[in-house]
Every structure is written in structure tokens, then in C-alpha cells.
Amino acid sequence: MVHVAIVGSGIAGLFTALQLADAGHTVTIITKKRTKDSSTNWAQGGIAAILDTTNHDGIASHIKDTITAGDGRCDEDVVRMVVEQAHLRIKDLVSYGVDFQKESDGRYSTAREGGHSEHRILHSKDATGKEIERALIKKSESHQRIKILANTLAIDLIRKDYSNPEHGVVGLWCYDQISKKIQTIRCDVAILATGGVGVLWEKTTNPDVATGDGIGMAHRFGAQIKDMAFVQFHPTASTLKEHRPFLVTEALRGHGAVLLDSAGLDAWMKDCKDSSEEKPSPELYSFTLEYSSMGSLATRDVLARAIDTVLKRTGDDCVYLITSHLNAEELDDQFPTMSKHLREFGLKLGVDPIPVSPAAHYMVGGIKVNEYGQSYLRGTQQFIPSLYAIGEVACTGMHGANRLASNSLLEAVVYAYNAAQHIIEHHRTSYEGEIPDWRADGLEQLKEHAPLRNDLKSLQHAMFNEVGIVRTNQRLYRAERRVELLEKEIDLIWESSIPTRELIELRNLVLVGKLVIQDAIDQKENCGLHYNTDFVG
């Protein structure tokens, strides 16, 4: 029996915990807030999966769509492995109590989203992530071998030999947000399942826990970080004044919703008013057709750039998602989460145009791992013993340069299963040696730091404006200079201050921002989510 520490309580962390605990291992889940405060809980769309293993065309189509979206950067072996495991992992989720929506004949209901050539998205209305979290949390909280530490923020991984990361992980230093004390947590295996880093940008669809903690910890430990230039901006986040962006699920466009700019909306509404016959399709008026034959169902990178271009040209704050040509009652039934959210702002699905614009959504890059979630030592092809990464924090090769919608939950659960099985088969002994306390030699001399809110805002503003959807070399180098200055300041504060959540997160955000900028500068061509106008023409 070994003890496993899992940092993060989304689908990846919880699923792995249950697999390990059922096999007889003990697990501690470390989560920054409550277990349900994860990006999984915010996932509206669903999980892409072909359940019929005899449907070879469907499996081949899912693989092709994934590789096409990834713009030539996907690892085809990884894509095939994940897609072909889908039916098994869906069965596992159902066995844990996840309730996917079904049709009247008992078959699972499937939706279509941008970049998908057919309907293959399993869902629970428009709150699939919330349903998955509900079931996995319920199972985890009742499991005798799983201990959950809520309101606990991991700071750093502890090495067996502090001068040599090749010797692996023996524990973590964590910040207890209730007691304000540092905890030293011993473990034989550490799994990073900390999610993404959307908070690095001014506008994001992510929860406030998405601050890149896993990538920061792994990089400081010596792990290899890969493909950080590829940051997915979701094209349709609600743009409602004085309120944070709210994800408008891709499934709404799969259901028939159409993107129009202000000129297209005016023209369509005028022609609808003047027409005595059947109203014209709004898709005919969509600016998206200038960028892709798939129109409003193009992949996220294409649509985000298209919207960004339109907004810069017109000076508008948003474009509009049109649903008034669709059945309002059916929309309310299929998308209750979105319907409720819009009603709070006096808008109604099937009636009112929804103002939307892009917001930071998903980190395609991350900690480089193999098919079992094992992390690599930086600059080598050697694995770091006892350090795994799964979910959004990991770079598996599945997504290439751009993630296909609803592939993330599938990738997370497949890699969670693979990591758990690898640990069960290969880790059998516990580490009994001494591990150091955090800063034991100077903890009492630390002082309180000044507020850091302005530093965070400065970082977010620089990243959104200089390292956003469309980039230039000049903007990237400008962002690099700004972040380097901020990094030096935060390092000085870190060395002399009592840790707080604010400081721990900002330390990680600055480091991850630097990694994103460096990788963006190193790119020599446009690919997927990285688009530099200096490479155009």
C-alpha cells in the first residue's frame, strides 16, 4: 500500500482517487477551496465519446476531427488511445453515479459542437461538468480510504534529495487557509490535477482557482513544460457590463445558434421585417463565413480570431449569438443553466441576441507527460519518479495546437484511469525517511506583505492585451519585459513575507505567464491557437 497525494478536485483528481482507493491505496485530495470549486464543475458542454465499438467510421471520424482541430500538432497514437478508451471510461463514470441525458428510447442523447462533423457529445443538459462533479464528490466523500483537505493550497513539491529532482517526490508543502499555517504532507506519489490558468488573463471563463499552481510547482521542481504558447480563448463568453464572463456553451451553436456582428444583425433583422415569406436564415448574414465554410460551427481558434478581428475593425465590445429563429421552449429545456443566467440580465433564449466576445478558456500546453501521466525531467527523456500530471495541467499530445470542444473531460478521465493503473502496478513501497519542514530555519522572521491586487491586475492586463488571441513580436517582447520586472518584485516579496493565498497564486501566475511568453516568442510559424501577424504574408 502506498499513500498518494492528489492536488485538485476536478474530474481527473477525483476519478484517480476513486480508482486508487478501490485498489487499497490511501489517498489525500488537496483542494484550494471546496471540492466542487473546479473547472469541471463549470463545464457546460459535455464529453465526446463513441460508445459503439463496432462503429469504426464514428471512431475514425472522431480521431480525424481531433487531429484537424489540432492543426497538425496532435500525437495520433495518443488521440487514438483516448478515443478508443471512451466507451470504457463512460461506463466507469456511469458506475460512479453520473447521469447522462437519454432519449425517450433509452439511448444516450448526443449533441454536436464546433469542429465536430457529427453528433457525439454526451451531456447532462448544459451542466455536464456539474453532474460529473456531483457524482464523483459523493463517492469520494464517503470512501474510507480518501481524505479531503479543503481550503488547502499546495505551495511546492518536496524532493527526496533536495539537490536532485531525479529522486522523486516525498511530499508537499501546503498552506492551510483556515489556520494560516504551513502543513507538510508526506506522500509516496504526487499527482498534479490542478486544472488551468485562465486567471492569468483579464477575461476568462475559468473559476478563480485556475491560477496555474500545478505548472508552477512542477517547473520549480524540474519538470518539463511544453506548448505553453497554445492558449484557447473560448469565442462565446457572455459580455454583460460589470459582470465576469459566463461561458455560453458551444452546444448552443451545435443546436443552431448563429454568430452575427452588429452590421449583420441589423441587416438580418431588417430583411426579416421586410419579408412577407419565410424569414431568411441568420447564418447567411454571419461574418464567420468569411473565415470558414463551417460558419458558426468552426473551431474555437478560427472563431476567436474572427471575432477579435471584427471587434477591432468596428470598435464594438461584442458580437451577438442569435437564437430567435429557434424554438424558445426547446432551448429552455435543453439549456436551463444558460436560460437561468440570461434571465438574470433580462435576456431570454429564443428571443434576444446574446452579446458575446472571446475569453481565456483552456491551456493546451502544460506539464509534458507520457500515456500514463508520468512527468519528464526537464531537458531529458527521463521520468521523474512518483510525479504524475493529469487533466488540463498536463500536456499529453491529445490536443496538438488547439483543443477540439468536449475532448477535455474525455482526456482527463482516460489519463486519470491510466495513471491510477500505472501507480497500482508499479508503486508498492512507502518512503520512511525524513522530509524537511517548510522554511524551518527562518519562518519566524517573515513579515506581512502589502496588498498585491494592483500587481495581479497589471499582469492580467499585459497578458490579455499583449499575449492574447492575436500577437506580434513587438507585443510579446513588451510583455516579456513587463513580466520580468514583476517577477523580480514578487521574488523579493516571497523571500521576506508570510505566505498568503494571494501571494502563492501570484507567484505561480507570474511564472506561468513568463513560460507562455517565452514559448510564444520561440514559435516560428502560425499554428492553431498561436497567431502572430508578423508571420502573415
Contacts of 310 (CB under 8 A, 6+ apart): 261, 287, 316, 319
Spatial strand order of the sheet with 383-389 comes to: 146-149, 26-30, 3-7, 189-192, 383-389, 374-376
Host H or E run for residue 270: helix 262-274
- Do residues 122 and 402 touch, judged by C-beta distance below 8 A? no
- Do residues 449 and 506 touch, judged by C-beta distance below 8 A? no
- Would residue 145 show up in a list of annotated catalytic residues for this protein? no
Q: How far is 242 from 256, CA to CA, in rounded Å? A: 29
Q: Give me the sign of the Cα torsion angle 185, 149, 456, 511.
A: positive
Coil, helix or strand for 130? helix
Grid cell of 324 as nine digits: 430567435
3-class secondary structure per residue, 91-117? HHHHHCCCCCCECCCCCECEECCCCCC
Grid cell of 443 as nine digits: 519562518
Q: Are strands 47-48 and 26-30 parallel, antiparallel or unpaired?
A: unpaired
List, as one string, the DSSP characters of 483-531: HHHHHHHHHHHHHHB---HHHHHHHHHHHHHHHHHHHHHH--S-BTTB-
Contacts of 120 (CB under 8 A, 6+ apart): 48, 49, 50, 58, 62, 110, 112
Packing angle, helices 11-22 and 128-141, rounded to 10: 30
Q: How far is 182 from 414, CA to CA, in rounded Å? A: 33
Which entry of 112, 159, 300, 475 is annotated as an active-site residue?
300
Host H or E run for residue 140: helix 128-141
Q: How far is 517 from 483, CA to CA, in rounded Å? A: 9
Active site residues: 300
